[in-house]
Amino acid sequence: MLDIKFVRENSELVKENIRKKFQDSKLPLVDEVIKLDIQIRELKLEGDNLRAERNTSSQKIGLLMREKKIDEANRIKARAVEINGLLVDIEKKEAQLAEELKTKMMIIPNIIDPTVPIGRDDSENVEVERFIEPKTPNFEIPYHLDILESLGGIDLDSARKVAGNGFYYLLGDIARLHEAVIAYARDFMIQKGFTYCIPPFMIRSNVVTGVMSFAEMDQMMYKIEGEDLYLIGTSEHSMIGRFIDTIHEKNKLPYTLTSYSPCFRKEKGAHGIEERGIYRIHQFEKQEMIVVCEPEQSKEWFDKLWHYTVDLFTSMKIPVRALECCSGDLADLKVKSIDVEAWSPRQQKYFEVGSCSNLGDAQARRLAIRIKGEKGNYYAHTLNNTVVAPPRMLIAVLENFLQEDGSVLVPEVLWPYMGGTQVLKPKK
Residue-level pLDDT, tens digit, the chain, 428 residues: 899 999 999 999 999 999 999 999 999 999 999 999 999 999 999 999 998 888 777 767 666 666 777 777 777 778 888 888 999 999 999 999 999 999 999 999 999 999 999 999 999 999 999 999 998 899 999 999 999 999 999 999 999 999 998 899 999 999 999 999 999 999 999 999 999 999 999 999 999 999 988 778 888 899 999 999 999 999 999 999 999 999 999 999 999 999 999 999 987 654 555 556 788 889 999 999 999 999 999 999 999 999 999 999 999 999 999 999 999 999 999 999 999 999 999 999 999 999 999 999 999 999 999 999 888 999 999 999 999 998 899 999 999 999 999 999 999 999 999 999 999 999 86
Task: Output the pLDDT for position 254.
Answer: 97
Q: What angle do CA 166, 168, 174 make, to 5 degrees?
A: 135
Question: Which among 221, 385, 183 is positioned nearest to 288, based on CA atoms?
Answer: 385
**Using an 8 Å Cβ cutoff, are 60 and 76 in contact?**
yes
Torsional sign, CA 363, 366, 372, 373: positive
Architecture of domain 122-424: 2-Layer Sandwich (3.30)
Q: Where are the domains of the chain?
A: 4-105, 122-424
Task: Output the pLDDT for position 273.
Answer: 55
Our separate counts of H helices and E strands in the chain read 13, 18
Task: Output the pLDDT for position 81.
Answer: 84
Task: Output the pLDDT for position 96.
Answer: 96
Task: Output the pLDDT for position 29.
Answer: 97
**Using an 8 Å Cβ cutoff, are 278 and 394 in contact?**
yes
**Using an 8 Å Cβ cutoff, are 399 and 346 in contact?**
yes
pTM of the model: 0.90
Collapsing DSSP to helix, strand or coil, 342 comes out as strand
Give the whole-angstrom CA distance, residue 338 versus residue 325.
Answer: 6
Give the whole-angstrom CA distance, residue 236 versus residue 379.
Answer: 18
Task: Output the pLDDT for position 64.
Answer: 66
Topology classification of domain 4-105: Helix Hairpins (1.10.287)
**Using an 8 Å Cβ cutoff, are 30 and 3 in contact?**
no
